[in-house]
Amino acid sequence: MKKILIVEDDKAIGELERDYLEADGFTIDIAADGTAGLEKAKTNRYDLLILDVMLPGADGFEIIRAVRKDQDIPILMVSARREDVDKIRGLGLGADDYISKPFSLVILEKHIRALLRRQKSAAKAQWRRGLATVDFEAYQGFYDGSDAHLKPKEVRLLKLLVDNPGVVWSRQAIIEKLWHDAADVPFDRVIDVYIKNLRHKLRLDCIVTVKGVGYRYEAS
């Protein structure tokens, strides 16, 4: 059963969406403001986030930016504002879809299911190499049965490399894939640190350094 977080400050709308989606088989949490929504998103695991743009506390754009630092879950933005600039900004920060109010609950459900199908088809659930196992959906990695304590960005970096065997990725190209805003990159050589961590935590020799260029994954 898929678990969805709705961040909506209009109580009536939030409850209407919750009742409809629960009747359709989803598990729903609701947050009535941006601050509470961000806290729930950080402390719970959801399959999808429905996010209003205009919220008390943190607005929708702030929440997207914060969530995308650690998670890759689908984000559906909803708003009564119809300006293209809001849609462009939201999608640019990392939202996956955007619908304008008012909308029918049937349309909302169609967007949700489309996003979940897209995520499922894009994700290769598990990857194994020797004694290393990584569940890309659960953001967990193990070596010889023991938790490797991978960080979310390390998991995303590994998936990027695994999904593109033989492709050489520069540090800048990796940064553009892992961060939606370069201002959020903690320091210049962070990719080198993540690569070193992956090699150490999972005992990997399949991530190859291409001197002066970047990194590539060797499938065999």
Half-sphere exposure of 97 (CA within 13 A, CB side): 19
Which pairs count as long-range contacts for 35-42, CB under 8 Å and 24+ apart, including other chains? 36/7, 37/5, 37/7, 37/63, 38/62, 38/63, 38/66, 38/67, 40/5, 41/5, 41/7, 41/66, 41/67, 41/71, 42/66, 42/67, 42/70
Final residue belonging to a domain, choices 67, 96, 122: 122
pLDDT tens digits for 29-78? Answer: 999 999 999 999 989 989 999 999 999 999 999 999 888 877 778 999 99
40 with 95, same domain: the answer is yes
Q: What is the pLDDT of residue 110?
A: 95
Domain containing residue 134: 126-217
98 with 73, same domain: the answer is yes
Mean pLDDT of the chain: 90
33 with 21, same domain: the answer is yes
Q: What is the pLDDT of residue 80?
A: 84
Q: What is the pLDDT of residue 63?
A: 93
pLDDT tens digits for 91-110? Answer: 888 888 999 988 999 999 99
